[in-house]
């Protein structure tokens, strides 16, 4: 599919992440105004809340965009999702007869503050990238036992904290936790010393389910995707995770990019999951190309200094797709809700420059990275800004999500000191 031309000039730049082909959904505010629903087009934002108030967009008898999140639209289902995309394309396409009406509803992206684009109902994070799972398993158990016996049969996950999901640009406070190093007999309560990121994609459930669903039904229920950074306290995790898995190590924060890129915008970038060593059971079998060809990048910038790209990989490296993760989630009868967020798990490629976490890049701290500034990093230091970037490259256009950014602040003073 080639570039769709818009009367918004900046949207026609082949390098711009928000062409007419994209039309991602976000929530923005200007100065002290109330947050509103908006759609990115070029370097501008269409105020969808106001467009609905003026009758330019009318999809329901009840307002869908008077609240500062996109959940009410999700609740309407795929037919209304498609109707909105068709209407937005009609309004913003080159030659639109409604250009004059719409021009007054555009605001520069440079002038806005972005907010959470949707209300997160529940959050589940998966461990579905094979290269990451193999690397981490090798560090702790050796290559012969790197993957757990179930890993090649089901997507493994854990229930995270919806309350700690934050939008890009939110500062991240270094957490405290109970740590225990191998050379000490007793644990200690200390600030995290091995703070890390995980490069992931997040899938947003747009329609609810109550009972098992197929992979195809799951794919149909996904509303869109965001970049996702699963901040991870590796030393807290190492002490607490046995026998029930991650807990406080993953509860500090999960950052997401500000724009929801809808599934239709990503449709031209569909690609297949990898070959399987074991045939998946029926409820998990692929029903077509289930992944997306999305180039991903991680940068780190010490406070006040230039950034260094530390990893480049692609979403096509995943072993299980979001649809397979969602379908498996429902097998027990677990209801899924509008606004549920599914983290893909860390996305890493086969080579060292493709690893999606500092744990892997520094191999547990044994191989520190050298930044462009000459400094070294094994894990994140206070003042470091971590940025996730994602781009799908089309025929004369690119589809972007907006950067997913977080700056790490020093830990608080001991909250339990007497």
Active site residues: 132
Structure tokens at 214: 């197929």
Return d(Cα 298, Cα 348) in angstroms, integer: 11
3-state secondary structure of 348: coil
Structure tokens at 132: 């990451």
Residue 378 CB neighbours (<10 A): 19
**∠ CA 407-409-415 to the nearest 5 degrees?**
145
**∠ CA 346-200-406 to the nearest 5 degrees?**
115
Return d(Cα 388, Cα 411) in angstroms, integer: 23
Return d(Cα 304, Cα 384) in angstroms, integer: 9
Region label for 245, one of left (φ > 0), alpha (ψ between -120 and 50) or beta (otherwise) = left
- Is residue 121 packed enough to be buried (19+ CB in 10 Å), middle (13-18) or exposed (0-12)? middle
- Beta strands 165-167; 254-256: pairing state: parallel
Return d(Cα 107, Cα 391) in angstroms, integer: 23
């Amino acid at each position: 599919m080639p570039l769709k031309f818009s009367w918004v000039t900046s949207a026609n730049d082949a390098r711009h992440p928000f062409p007419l082909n994209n039309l991602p959904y976000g929530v923005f505010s200007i100065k002290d105004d109330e947050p509103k629903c908006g759609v990115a087009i070029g370097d501008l934002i269409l105020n969808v809340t106001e467009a609905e108030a003026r009758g330019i967009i009318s999809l329901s008898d009840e307002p869908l965009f008077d609240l500062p999140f996109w959940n009410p639209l999700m609740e309407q289902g795929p037919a209304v999702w498609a109707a909105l995309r068709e209407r937005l394309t009609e309004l913003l396409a080159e030659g639109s007869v409604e250009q004059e009406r719409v021009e007054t509803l555009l605001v520069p992206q440079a002038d806005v503050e972005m907010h959470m684009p949707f209300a997160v109902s529940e959050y589940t994070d998966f461990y579905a990238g094979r290269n990451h799972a193999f690397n981490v398993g090798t560090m702790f158990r050796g290559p012969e036992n790197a993957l757990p016996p179930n890993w090649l049969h089901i997507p493994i996950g854990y229930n995270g904290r919806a309350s700690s999901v934050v939008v890009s640009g939110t500062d991240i406070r270094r957490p405290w936790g109970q740590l225990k190093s191998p050379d000490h007999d007793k644990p200690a309560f200390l600030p995290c010393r091995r703070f890390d990121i995980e490069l992931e994609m997040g899938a947003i459930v747009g329609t609810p389910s109550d009972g098992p669903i197929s992979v195809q039904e799951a794919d149909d229920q996904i509303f869109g995707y965001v970049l996702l950074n699963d901040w991870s306290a590796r030393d807290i995790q190492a002490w607490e995770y046995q026998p029930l898995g991650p807990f406080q190590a993953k509860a500090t924060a999960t950052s997401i990019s500000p724009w929801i890129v809808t599934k239709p915008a990503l449709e031209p970038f569909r690609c297949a999951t990898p070959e399987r060593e074991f045939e998946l059971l029926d409820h998990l079998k692929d029903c077509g190309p289930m992944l997306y060809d999305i180039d991903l990048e991680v940068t780190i910038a010490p406070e006040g200094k230039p950034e260094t790209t530390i990893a480049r990989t692609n979403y096509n490296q995943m072993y299980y797709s979001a649809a397979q993760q969602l379908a498996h989630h429902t097998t027990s009868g677990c209801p899924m809700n509008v606004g549920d967020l599914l983290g893909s798990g860390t996305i890493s490629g086969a080579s060292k420059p493709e690893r999606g976490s500092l744990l892997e890049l520094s191999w547990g701290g044994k191989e520190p990275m050298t930044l462009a500034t000459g400094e070294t990093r094994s894990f994140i230091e206070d003042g470091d800004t971590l940025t996730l970037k994602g781009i799908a490259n089309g025929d004369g256009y690119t589809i972007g999500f907006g950067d997913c950014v977080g700056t790490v602040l020093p830990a608080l003073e001991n909250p339990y000191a007497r």
